[in-house]
Amino acid sequence: MKRKIVVANWKMHPPSFREAKKIFTAVTRSVSRMKKTQVVVCPSALYLSGLKSSYRGSKVLFGSQDVSHLEEKTGSYTGETSAYQFAGSGVTHTIIGHSERRALGETDTRISQKVSSACAARLSPILCVGERARDDQGDYLVFLRKELQLGLAGVTEKDTRKLIIAYEPLWAIGKSADNAVTPDALRQTVLFIRKTLVDLFGRKHGVRIPILYGGAVEPANAGTLAAVEGVAGFLVGHASLVPKDFTSIVRAIDRS
């Protein structure tokens, strides 16, 4: 069982399947040497099956960037893709509640339904939480706790085996390494998230849930952030589209 996880969130990139293959080829080649780290690539849903069938022996796993909140396997729901459909195409993970989806109107209730539908289909939900801004009074911690409580409302103790949390402060996303969280602030926030998970699911289950960090992770800060106690890996946005940068980020985690 690999202990560390790095998730590549390709968002709405690249513009063609040909380019997606080019990035994936480079990534799969270099990460095949990593010993401790599981890499999960989340491309556009349109490229998932093609990439999966083109790279059968790859050690890289696939995730979707979103999933339907509906628990049915199939149905008359135009535009929706069920968790079962993703699972049936070899997808193992799904990002849920990314701030860019919340900005498009996704509510905590919808997010909690998505987490439940992922669990029902045995996908690993990667629940994203993160504050818009930090403050001295600690209001952002109250906000984080609430996001966790609401997003995980339908999760059972058994479901926690597949659950992954990604801490992604909105103020860091899409920025460069200088704007990422500091190691000390990250350590404290991860500790706070861990405490909340233990409160929600009990010690036995709460301590096992991996907590990733996402937001401006680049080769320049990957080593320092990877060394922060309690960080099980990264969720990487823009740097995941540059194979050289992504590889050096995965290497930083693998060595930590």
Kindly tell me which of 206 and 214 has the beta carbon lying closer to ligand PGA.
214
Residues taking part in catalysis: 98, 168
Q: Report the b/e string of 109-148 with b at 16+ CB within 10 A.
A: ebbbbbbbbbbbbebbbbbbbbbeeeeeeeebbebbbebb
Kindly tell me which of 114 and 205 has the beta carbon lying closer to ligand PGA.
114
The 3-42 site mask, x for binding ligand PGA (CB under 6 A), equals ------x---------------------------------
Task: Answer positive or negative: Cα dihedral of 42, 46, 52, 54.
Answer: negative
- Rule CB under 6 A: choose which of 148, 237, 241, 246 binds ligand PGA: 237
- The answer to the question of residue 163 lying near ligand PGA (CB under 6 A) is no
CA dist., res. 77 & res. 68, Å (int)? 9
- The answer to the question of residue 125 lying near ligand PGA (CB under 6 A) is no
* Number of other CB atoms surrounding residue 173 within 10 Å: 21
- The answer to the question of residue 81 lying near ligand PGA (CB under 6 A) is no
- The answer to the question of residue 219 lying near ligand PGA (CB under 6 A) is no
- Rule CB under 6 A: choose which of 27, 119, 236, 250 binds ligand PGA: 236
- Token pair listed for 214: 């996402």
Report, in Å, the least distance between residue 187 CB and ligand PGA: 19
- The answer to the question of residue 169 lying near ligand PGA (CB under 6 A) is no
